[in-house]
Amino acid sequence: MKSRIMALLIAATPIFAPVASFAQDASAPVVKTLPGSAPKRVLFIANSLVYYSGGLQTHVHRLDSADKNPLNLKDGYKSVHITGANLANYPIEFLTTPGNLGPKEPYELFVLGGNSQDAATDEGRARYRQKVIEFDKAIKSRGGRTALLWLPAFAPGSPQGASDLGKKTGDMMLAVGNEVEALVIPLAPAFKEAYRRRPDLKLQVGYDANHPTLAGQYLSACVVYASVYGRSPVGNPYDYFGALDAETRLFVQTVAEETVKAFYGR
């Protein structure tokens, strides 16, 4: 098994064309790292794409707990989810007010998930932009910072996956993220690269080609961890208590690290 995993890591490393262009592209992210100390009070605001398969925020703080030098994120990590929601459904003033969700100190980072269909129409893109600007203003008034989750496109081979929604979403995310100077977290590019390297790997459930499997949510968590904290997930032993096999774990860790480096030009 060890030799197979090492071979996988070596094979996965050299070719990284699809995402590398972001580092030089005119629509590359403006914010490449978060200033200041690593945020330990983080609130995720998102729908079921983020709470599926163990929960994105839970996997992130467990990755941290298994790291060699943990930041002790668990107590400050929380999430608020409404099924099928877009940002307009969340009471941002309430959510940004210290004490309303537990901690008496304000959250340092708010990770906004939006909806995978936000970019489908002109109205949806305009609404997303308006809400991010509104939310960012409220977040900054409490001394926090905003991050945007670039949600994965629908799985390849599905009817939705064959549409131009993925490109529209990417254009929207980078434009809005750069406008408010938010950290854009590249989940979609990581999924795209993982599918390119291993088309057989199930990162999204079959019934809607959208919600993540455990491997997909673990990939997302590795991307968040590397993006927000600048830490490599490669070699992290956390496997959701044995639920994720070693080969898949190493593969998605590697894709996450390389996607983050290419996307931000780090």
* Mean pLDDT (whole number) for 243-257: 98
Q: Per residue in 123-133, pLDDT tens?
A: 999 999 999 99
Confidence grade of residue 103 (pLDDT, cut at 50, 70, 90): confident
CATH number of the structural domain spanning residue 241: 3.40.50.1110
Q: Per mean pLDDT, which range of 47-56, 115-124, 151-160 is the poorest?
A: 151-160
The residues pairing with 110 across neighbouring beta strands, listed in sequence order, are 43, 146
Is residue 24 one of the residues assigned to a domain? no
Is residue 9 one of the residues assigned to a domain? no
pLDDT reported for residue 137: 98
Q: Per residue in 20-48, pLDDT tens?
A: 444 434 479 999 999 988 999 999 999 99
DSSP readout, 2-47? HHHHHHHHHHHSS--HHHHGGGTSTT--S--S--SSPP--EEEEE-
Is residue 97 one of the residues assigned to a domain? yes
Is residue 16 one of the residues assigned to a domain? no
Residues spanned by the domain of 119 = 40-264
Q: Per residue in 44-101, pLDDT tens?
A: 999 999 999 999 999 999 999 999 999 999 889 999 999 999 999 999 999 999 999 9
Is residue 84 one of the residues assigned to a domain? yes
pLDDT reported for residue 14: 38
Query: Total structural domains in the chain?
Result: 1
Better pLDDT: 163 or 264: 264
Is residue 5 one of the residues assigned to a domain? no
pTM of the prediction?
Answer: 0.90
Calpha distance 28→263 (Å, rounded): 7
Is residue 14 one of the residues assigned to a domain? no
Is residue 77 one of the residues assigned to a domain? yes
135: left (phi over 0), alpha (psi -120 to 50) or beta: alpha
